[in-house]
């Protein structure tokens, strides 16, 4: 018996250390490398002239690139380390990641830890590290939902007996029959996370958390009727919040007509469109952007894609979009071929989150969507965000190590 257990353990260990998916890894590394090059090109002028009052670059034009490169190196190391972990461990880790992210988001409101930026209180500073805890919450929700929903078919069991003699019993029976009670744990978890993020007035993070959660629920086979019911509640609520919040209403107005407030809110999107238009078909050449010379704000962050369009032109921008598309397609292919349901749901959540970030960022920069403040994965400056993105890719690669194994459930 002991020999058999030892042999089974050896098999599981071999499964967890199988080969990773090289096409997916190659796409991640290419996007990371190109992103670093574009951060160097886009941030050169603003770093040299030290234009950010919150950051002292000391006139070093390589300041932002050097920091991003260090975080990228640590992120790649973390990606390979995480890829070697048996992804089944992510099941029990999901509760701690989700709970930890909520605690960290609450630290934002603690004076010693909380940090503001851009007029918002969304950052936590622990020692030399400054990051947005909502980035961890996004992946925490995906992990938690994937871990619970992966056991959905095996844990439903026979229908629960309710006391039909009482009103509460009859009500619970009806809710159980239509599948609402099954969703209660997810509604509570999502409500807590969204509630804390709402206190930070971080609409873009709320949208991405909802996208990640919805993608996992959809892949798990939750009835489409519940998505329709959620949309009927969420969409009017978002419209109400936007119309009743001054800065959000101003963003919508600026999106519709940037020239209406060109000296303030409309300046950035208008300069971004000038950068895109200046690139033409083939671009002005890598490093030759004119808009990055203090014309376009956030040129190395949220609006880095505008610099990509200016320097690399329509052709270069389309190549980068194609790389993102290939990454997303490959990710979904890996989800379909994952060894078990948990691996499938985990990849679907991570890839859907990445894909929507790309869509929102490019949509905002090109004027297709109103401003959201969502960064471009692998490209936008932000060391901890890049590390978390690469860690997420490591989780995907961890699942790919067991794709060759027989289906588990």
Q: 12 in a domain, yes or no?
A: no
Residues 162-191 pLDDT 10s: 556 666 666 666 666 656 677 888 889 999
321 in any annotated domain: yes
| pLDDT higher than threshold 50 for residue 2 | no
Task: Please say if the pLDDT value at position 320 is more than 80.
Answer: yes
Q: Where are the alpha helices (DSSP H) in 108-245?
A: 133-149, 152-155, 167-177, 180-199, 203-219, 224-244
408 found inside a domain: no
Residues β-bridged to residue 121: 116
Domain count, the chain: 1
* Each residue's pLDDT tens digit, 60-92: 888 999 999 999 999 999 999 999 999 999 999
> What's 158's DSSP letter?
S
Note whether residue 11 is domain-resident: no
**Whole-prediction pTM:** 0.89
| 303 pLDDT more than 80 | yes
- Residue 2 domain flag: no
Range of the domain at 210: 19-400
Instruction: Spell out the residues 6+ positions from residue 225 whose beta carbon is closer than 8 angstroms to its own.
Output: none
d(CA 56, CA 47): 9
Check residue 369 and give its pLDDT: 86
| Residue 178 is assigned to a structural domain of this protein | yes
| Closest by Cα among 385, 378, 380 to 306 | 380
Measured distance CA(95)–CA(300) in Å, rounded: 35
- pLDDT per residue over 226-244, tens digit each? 888 888 887 887 777 777 6
Q: What is the pLDDT of residues 343-370, one digit of tens each?
A: 999 999 999 999 999 999 999 999 888 8
């Amino acid at each position: 018996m002991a020999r058999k257990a030892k042999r089974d353990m050896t098999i599981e260990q071999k499964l967890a250390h199988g080969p990773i998916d090289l096409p997916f890894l190659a796409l991640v590394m290419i996007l990371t490398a190109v992103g670093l090059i574009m951060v160097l090109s886009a941030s050169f002028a603003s770093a040299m002239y030290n234009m950010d009052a919150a950051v002292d670059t000391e006139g070093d034009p390589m300041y932002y690139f050097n920091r991003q490169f260090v975080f990228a190196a640590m992120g790649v190391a973390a990606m390979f380390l995480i890829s070697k972990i048996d992804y089944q461990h992510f099941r029990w880790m999901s509760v701690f990641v989700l709970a930890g992210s909520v605690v960290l988001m609450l630290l934002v409101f603690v004076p010693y830890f909380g940090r503001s930026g851009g007029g918002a209180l969304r950052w936590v500073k622990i020692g030399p590290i400054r990051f947005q805890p909502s980035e961890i919450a996004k992946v925490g929700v995906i992990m938690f939902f994937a871990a619970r929903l992966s056991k959905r078919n095996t844990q439903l069991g026979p229908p629960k007996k309710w006391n039909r003699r009482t009103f509460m019993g009859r009500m619970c029976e009806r809710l159980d029959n239509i599948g609402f009670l099954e969703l209660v744990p997810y509604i509570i978890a999502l409500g807590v996370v969204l509630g804390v993020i709402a206190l930070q007035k971080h609409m873009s993070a709320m949208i991405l958390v909802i996208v990640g959660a919805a993608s996992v629920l959809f892949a798990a086979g939750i009835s489409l009727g519940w998505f329709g019911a959620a949309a009927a509640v969420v969409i009017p609520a978002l419209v109400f919040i936007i119309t009743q919040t001054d800065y959000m209403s101003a963003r919508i107005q600026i999106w519709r007509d940037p020239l209406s407030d060109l000296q303030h809110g409309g300046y950035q999107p208008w300069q971004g469109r000038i950068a895109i238009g200046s690139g033409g078909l083939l671009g002005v050449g890598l490093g030759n952007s004119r808009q990055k010379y203090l014309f376009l704000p956030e040129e190395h962050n949220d609006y880095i894609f505008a610099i990509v369009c200016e320097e690399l032109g329509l052709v270069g921008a389309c190549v980068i979009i194609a790389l993102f598309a290939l990454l997303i397609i490959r990710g979904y292919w890996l989800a379909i071929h994952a060894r078990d349901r948990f691996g499938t749901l985990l990849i679907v959540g991570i890839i859907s989150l990445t894909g929507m970030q790309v869509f929102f960022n490019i949509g905002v920069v090109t004027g297709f969507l109103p401003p959201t403040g969502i960064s471009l994965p692998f490209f936008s400056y932000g060391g901890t965000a890049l590390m978390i993105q690469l860690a997420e890719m490591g989780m995907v690669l961890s699942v790919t190590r067991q794709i060759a194994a027989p289906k588990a459930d």
